[in-house]
Structure 1
Amino acid sequence: MVEENVPARIRDKRLVQLSTSALLAGTTLTGAQERLVNIMNEVARAGNIIFLIDGIDDLVGSGGQGAVQGLDVSETLAEFLGAGQFLTLSTTTVTGYNQFIVNSALGQVLARVDVDEMSTDQAIQVLESKVGMVEYKQQVFFSYDALEQAVVLSKKFLHDQNLPESALAIMTESASFVHTTKGINTLVAGEDVASIVAQKTGIPTTSITDDESTKLMKLEEDMHKQVIGQDEAVSLVANALRRARAEVRSQKRPIANFLFLGPTGVGKTELAKTIARTYFGGEDRMIRIDMSEYQDKSGIYRLIGQPGQQGTGILTEAVRQNPFSLLLLDEMEKADPDVLNLFLQVFDDGRLTDSVGRVIDFTNTIIIATSNAGTAFVQQQIVAGVPLEDIRQTLIHGELKQYYRPEFLNRFDGIVLFRSLTRDETKQIAGLMLGRVKKDIEAKGMSFIVEEAALEALAEIGYDPEFGARPMRRAIQDKVENQLAELILSNTLHRRDRLILGEGAMIRVESA
């Protein structure tokens, strides 16, 4: 209207907004109606006013302000609007329109106009029109790249709001951040905006640093410090993480979808935890769901929420709050087929709509499903020397069809086969587990030394090709931790003592 880029009918008119909260505050229904009638008469007499009612559903008794006050002035308003004495613009959400307007008197006199989210270019224009005031208040200056990044990154990563609102919020926060950290009369750059978005979402949006680049190139090495063996699994996952950080992947799908197949105790969950630590920054970034709890159709509502209910879904709410995370779906084969169908859209489109209509973004999530399905067949084939790729294809076209439909299996970026652990690998795992025991002992001011003979003894006790590393955990508990507990409680140990785990997994103490 300021630029006169409007139809002739509304040119040279004033835009006046009605404050619904002021209209309804501290009054009865009769008082609110009297106020509204007086306002409408004044607008009609002026003749050159376009009347703006923001949040018109507040005027309906069952909505917003009206519900609180027990007031409904929609009938009175509808009478004036039906007379056509002045132009009215009103706004509401799709939900507000469907719940409160469409079946009320206002629904008969108001023409519905759907307003879509702005395009990126339009949102940048809005920011350009608003940036001057923000610059003046914060005493900083915005580069064009910063405005562009505010729009692009908010559209990509902030899904609770739409453009331009989300970008305006990022612009304001970026200005405050730069004012605080760099001082006045400084430039807000694109990297500053990316840093704010990264803080809000936990998603790395800034440029890859040299240190991060080195870390990404050494992912396999870092993962093998925690996961023994399983070279193929580690390599597949590391490649997917590098593609994701370099943005050489589809931006409309999750970072990666993997199906981990293998017997119990061979490192499937441990590899998932390692990914959470090395790529996402900690195990708290791992969302773990036991799919054996979703063996009937009602499990869908537990995951995405019950329509019409206040509660949110376990899955959708967890990912909404932590979009940059690892989603671990344990024992996937035990879930109901309808629950599996729910994940088809997630694997393919990277999005899922919850029970209240919010679109949850999975494009910054790694999804790992674990399964024991077909593991006996896999181990037989590995022992027979069959190549892993041949085993994988046989599984897809045979054994796995008992549990998953072909279109479900095709959604995975990789079906990763975990083989049984060897005796030597079990010994290495014993070393890793004892490393954690060592940290606990050193925290008490003593040293803990593990001899090779102790590892051999534990490997003899804890090796079981059928159950993987789990028997080793019990062996260390029985043979090592029980001894340590007795020594500590007997008050015979002193600071700087050396505890040596030697032959037969027996502990001897050397005093300082």
Structure 2
Amino acid sequence: MPDFLKDNQATDKVQEPITQPADLDVQIEKSDIQIQSGYPGLLIDGTFWHWREKLTEPSIALRKIRDKVNKAINVFTSVLVLAAIAVSVLNIVLVEPALALEADFWFGTNFTMLSLWFAVLCLLFLFFRVQDKKMKQKKIPVLKGEKVNEVQTIPSLEATQKKVDIGLVMTKEAREAVENAYHVARKGGVAEVMPLHIFVGTLSSQPVATLFMRLGISFDQIKDAVRRRLTTYEKGNTVFGVKAQEIIAGAMRNSYLYKRPYLGTIEMFVEAYNADEFIQELLYSLEIEKKELENAAMWIRINEQLVDRYQEFRKAASLKPTSNMNRAYTAVATPFLDRVSQDLTKYAVYGRLPMLIGRDKEMNNILRAIEGGNKSVVLVGEPGVGKSAIIAGIAEKMVEESVPEILQDKRLVKISIPHIVSSEGGDGAQERLLAALQEIGRSGNIVTVIENIDQLVGRAGGVDLASVLSSELEKGYTFVIATTTPQGYTGVIERSVLGQKLEKIVLNEPERDDAIQVLESKIGGIENKNKVVFTYEAVAAIIDFSSRYMREAMLPEKAIVLAEEVANSVGRRGKQWARVSKEDVAGIISEKTNVPITQVGQEEGEKLLHLEDRMHERIIGQEEAVKAVAASLRRARVELRSQDRPIANFLFLGPTGVGKTELAKTTAEVYFGDENAMLRFDMSEYQDKASIARLIGGTGESGLLTEAVRQKPFALLLLDELEKAHSDILNLFLQVMDDGRLTDGSGRTIDFTNVILIATSNAGTQYIQDEVEKGSSLEQIKQYLMETELKTIYRPEFLNRFDGVMVFKPLSQEDVVAIAYLMIKKVEQRLEAKGIVFKASDEAVHDLAKKGYDPKYGARPLRRVIQETVDNSIAEFLLQGKVSRRDTLLLGPNGDIQVEKAAEL
């Protein structure tokens, strides 16, 4: 079987289906089997829908001949129409141009008029045939309510009074898929058409070809396994039995559930997949899981639904007045209101509003609240969750008149607050609002929309416009559909006079699958604009990555924005209709966050496997701590960690100056690409309970910690001397380590899931030093500290939240020598940038290490010694002009520095 979607470089419109199904013809030996009997079907409103046709090769051939004959008749009739019109026009222009100006010519009997009338008759005949075909094509009933019956198999059709053939609601492609499945089964000598045959039969259809393209797979990847599987079925005289009819009935159920007018190949494909474990395992081997297939299939349904809904919407909209007048001609003109508002129903009539995808529950809640008590509502949700989209959906429903009676034959008008409060200080705002509301009252056919209604409260130079609106709402001549944010509602609306007039409807972020569907409905426009093609994997990645790494914004808006950015980036590569992959999405996110989330390549994989070596370039000793941190970073890089907690939580124990802070800086550099990607808090400054407000903010305020993480969510959070913090502050970090979030004083939830949390503590320092001198292992030291000294400072549940508690041992003389070499190397790098060579003898380095060694304070005295002995001397040389570019500085014992001047050029 030839490959389909060979290049996969075009949009849905240019995806070529596979040739089907010659390559899958199989021959097997014959034996007798039992065929299950019965009549599978679906009961809808008292009517039993089932497959009635008995498939045979002659019946299939007869249908194809009938289709070809009908097509030939239509083509021939169309040719006659065009020929007759052409003859009439040529005759008028070339033969009888003068006679055409006389009335008798048009009402008389002549060849030209006979040709025209013949063309009209042929055109009417053609129109009749098209309409007759449409009338014979039944539609699936529209789902009423939410309950759908399951497919059932009955032993006999005699007891069923009303029966309908499912074949009457099939698309042409679905009918051909059934016949293809029967053909494959019969060619293979199979006794019964199985789900795999129907699966294969659908592959020649455009929707399934598009589905494969969206999933990023080709038929060549599965055809060998499919061919082998087809040879395993029992032989016999092929029948379209119960198993195949169950697939058709199940596809009918899905079509009914998703409110599709006809049964298409996508539903048959999905039902065959659900019925056959082999197909499921086959696609699973290509990394296509059931949920992914369902969402990708929903993408195809949504695109079909958008087209169908638009056509039906335009038909229904033709009955909706586009002027300000209602059908009863009782409304009045609203000239001032028209200047300060937008008529959303008029926009909907002309198709200028986006169609609402999902949100059925929220829409029902809104309509129920309005219908129940003629009450105004306020939609409360964060920016970007889709409040405006729901209002657009209400406008469309009002145009279609598929709304409660209280909303029928009315206009949905959105008042612009900036237009109402137009002058500086809001002078005249009260009068403008009253004028608009009075026109609404006189018209009698207007429902008002006010977005960001919290902006009305306390505006206009001391005049509270909310009280004006509230008093007008009490009169009952209109009601309002308003929007606001959670902060706007709790801080303003709830405490104002409007709070009692508006019923609160909360809008949360859509669930993952709903967000995917919303994005799928927007992808077509983004693809056409940027000349790219999105795979389903890319769409799902946009939802997942934006949810994980763009916590400040809300779905679905942030996903749409990210999709546009990714499409623009891929489109600028120059190749038209390039495919957008998950890696493209990951690349954009990585650029934004400096967090490595693209697929691990071979080179990066090698670096991750040898992460300890890289970290030891900056850290001397401390093997246990380095190994634990490196292992944690490897797990995070391949996403083997909980997404609801920080990337890692570590507690570093040990004396001062042994490398705890240096390991934190190294971790920030390795994972976030910069050692400055670190938020550092000295917990000795937060020793009382009142310090909580400093960290998370008081009422209505942001805090130092929460604001720092909000502004820099991808960073290492270092908590120095954690043991000195107040116990209530430790409880805050218990929540951070457990849930990955904190709520600040202004009510915002701050995300900590992309933070590496490292706390340092000097607790048990003396014990650690003593035990190391005795030769005790670090594991024994840690175990003792966990059971004794640490318990007096931290609660057990707090300690258990750390992914690792690392004990840093005191530095030995050899460790300090190695650290001295590292510090001298940094001096070399700083001077190299100035064009000066710096060299230090081994004797000089050992001398520095000896002077800077202090078991109690670790490497910190060494840093001071190098500053006083080396850095100060070099600074004097530079200021005195004793050293310049190309010169060499030689460091000897006792801090003696010699200058070797470069050779003259």
**Is the pair's TM-score, using the shorter chain for normalization, greater than 0.5?**
yes
Task: Give matches, 1:100-119, under 5 Å.
Answer: 100-119=492-511
The equivalent of 1:18 in structure 2 is 415
Deviations 1:271-308 (A, max 9, x none): 11111122211122011111111111221111111213
Give the Å deviation of 1:68.
4.7
The equivalent of 2:281 in structure 1 is none
TM-score between the two structures when normalised by the length of structure 2: 0.53
The equivalent of 2:766 in structure 1 is 376
Task: For 1:339, give the aligned amino acid.
Answer: I
Give the Å deviation of 1:147.
2.5
Deviates more, 1:148-157 or 1:261-270: 148-157
For 2:704, which of 296, 300, 314 is the aligned residue? 314
The equivalent of 2:776 in structure 1 is 386
The equivalent of 1:133 in structure 2 is 525
Note closer, same or farther for the CA distance 1:151–1:486 as it changes in structure 2 (3 Å cut): closer
Task: For 1:32, give the aligned amino acid.
Answer: R
- The DSSP-based 3-state class of the residue aligned with 1:439 is helix
For 1:429, which of 811, 819, 836 is the aligned residue? 819
Query: Are 2:874 and 1:484 equivalent residues in the alignment?
Result: yes
For 1:37, which of 429, 437, 442 is the aligned residue? 437
8 A Cα contact 2:665 2:676, kept in partner: no
For 1:324, which of 714, 718, 731 is the aligned residue? 714
- The DSSP-based 3-state class of the residue aligned with 1:269 is helix
8 A Cα contact 1:140 1:178, kept in partner: yes
The equivalent of 1:156 in structure 2 is 548
Distance in structure 1 (CA, Å) of the matches to 2:464 and 2:887: 80
Distance in structure 2 (CA, Å) of the matches to 1:410 and 1:249: 16
The equivalent of 1:250 in structure 2 is 642
Task: For 2:624, give the aligned amino acid.
Answer: E
Deviations 1:379-427 (A, max 9, x none): 2122222222221121111111232222222221111101111111111
Give the Å deviation of 1:217.
1.5
The equivalent of 1:470 in structure 2 is 860
Deviates more, 1:392-401 or 1:74-83: 74-83
Task: For 1:171, give the aligned amino acid.
Answer: A
8 A Cα contact 2:430 2:465, kept in partner: no
Note closer, same or farther for the CA distance 1:6–1:403 as it changes in structure 2 (3 Å cut): farther
Q: Using CA pairs below 8 Å that are at least 6 residues apart, which structure has the higher relative contact order? A: 1
Deviations 1:139-184 (A, max 9, x none): 4443333332222221222122221122122122223333334465
Give the Å deviation of 1:344.
0.8
Distance in structure 1 (CA, Å) of the matches to 2:455 and 2:886: 72
For 2:428, which of 19, 28, 37 is the aligned residue? 28
Query: Are 2:679 and 1:287 equivalent residues in the alignment?
Result: yes
Task: Give matches, 1:152-231, under 5 Å.
Answer: 152-182=544-574, 185-231=577-623
**Count of aligned positions:** 502
- The DSSP-based 3-state class of the residue aligned with 1:117 is coil
- The DSSP-based 3-state class of the residue aligned with 1:355 is coil
- The DSSP-based 3-state class of the residue aligned with 2:506 is coil
Deviates more, 1:457-466 or 1:227-236: 457-466
Distance in structure 1 (CA, Å) of the matches to 2:770 and 2:411: 81
Give the Å deviation of 1:197.
2.7
For 1:300, which of 692, 697, 718 is the aligned residue? 692
Distance in structure 2 (CA, Å) of the matches to 1:364 and 1:372: 27
8 A Cα contact 2:694 2:703, kept in partner: yes
Distance in structure 2 (CA, Å) of the matches to 1:104 and 1:509: 78
**Structure 2, gaps ≥5 residues long:** 1-392
Note closer, same or farther for the CA distance 1:461–1:401 as it changes in structure 2 (3 Å cut): same
Deviates more, 1:454-463 or 1:324-333: 454-463
For 2:661, which of 263, 266, 269 is the aligned residue? 269
Note closer, same or farther for the CA distance 1:5–1:227 as it changes in structure 2 (3 Å cut): farther
Distance in structure 2 (CA, Å) of the matches to 1:313 and 1:149: 32
The equivalent of 1:359 in structure 2 is 749
Task: For 1:220, give the aligned amino acid.
Answer: E
- The DSSP-based 3-state class of the residue aligned with 1:327 is strand
The equivalent of 1:53 in structure 2 is 450
Runs of 4+ residues over 6 Å off in structure 1: none
Give the Å deviation of 1:185.
4.2
Note closer, same or farther for the CA distance 1:256–1:497 as it changes in structure 2 (3 Å cut): same
Query: Are 2:843 and 1:446 equivalent residues in the alignment?
Result: no
Deviates more, 1:293-302 or 1:120-129: 120-129
Query: Are 2:516 and 1:124 equivalent residues in the alignment?
Result: yes
Distance in structure 2 (CA, Å) of the matches to 1:494 and 1:106: 75
Could you say which structure has the larger radius of gyration?
2
Deviations 1:468-488 (A, max 9, x none): 111212222233334434444
- The DSSP-based 3-state class of the residue aligned with 2:652 is strand
Task: For 2:449, give the aligned amino acid.
Answer: L
8 A Cα contact 1:17 1:51, kept in partner: yes
Distance in structure 2 (CA, Å) of the matches to 1:92 and 1:20: 13
Deviates more, 1:118-127 or 1:181-190: 181-190
Distance in structure 1 (CA, Å) of the matches to 2:472 and 2:818: 82
Deviates more, 1:231-240 or 1:87-96: 87-96
Task: Give matches, 1:394-433, under 5 Å.
Answer: 394-433=784-823
Deviates more, 1:336-345 or 1:101-110: 101-110
Give the Å deviation of 1:13.
5.5
- The DSSP-based 3-state class of the residue aligned with 1:178 is helix
Distance in structure 2 (CA, Å) of the matches to 1:167 and 1:39: 40
8 A Cα contact 1:316 1:360, kept in partner: yes
Task: For 1:409, give the aligned amino acid.
Answer: L
The equivalent of 1:460 in structure 2 is 850
Task: For 1:51, give the aligned amino acid.
Answer: T
8 A Cα contact 1:501 1:507, kept in partner: yes
Give the Å deviation of 1:100.
2.9
Task: Give matches, 1:331-342, under 5 Å.
Answer: 331-342=721-732
Distance in structure 1 (CA, Å) of the matches to 2:885 and 2:422: 71
Distance in structure 2 (CA, Å) of the matches to 1:259 and 1:222: 21
Deviates more, 1:116-125 or 1:186-195: 186-195
Distance in structure 2 (CA, Å) of the matches to 1:123 and 1:241: 30
Distance in structure 2 (CA, Å) of the matches to 1:14 and 1:151: 35
8 A Cα contact 1:43 1:86, kept in partner: no
- The DSSP-based 3-state class of the residue aligned with 2:839 is strand
Deviates more, 1:501-510 or 1:298-307: 501-510
Distance in structure 2 (CA, Å) of the matches to 1:144 and 1:203: 23
8 A Cα contact 1:57 1:92, kept in partner: yes
8 A Cα contact 2:434 2:468, kept in partner: no
- The DSSP-based 3-state class of the residue aligned with 1:111 is strand
Give the Å deviation of 1:367.
0.8
Give the Å deviation of 1:41.
2.1
**Structure 1, gaps ≥5 residues long:** none
Note closer, same or farther for the CA distance 1:446–1:200 as it changes in structure 2 (3 Å cut): closer
Task: For 1:204, give the aligned amino acid.
Answer: P
8 A Cα contact 2:737 2:801, kept in partner: yes
Deviates more, 1:376-385 or 1:323-332: 376-385
8 A Cα contact 2:590 2:598, kept in partner: yes
Name the % identity.
49
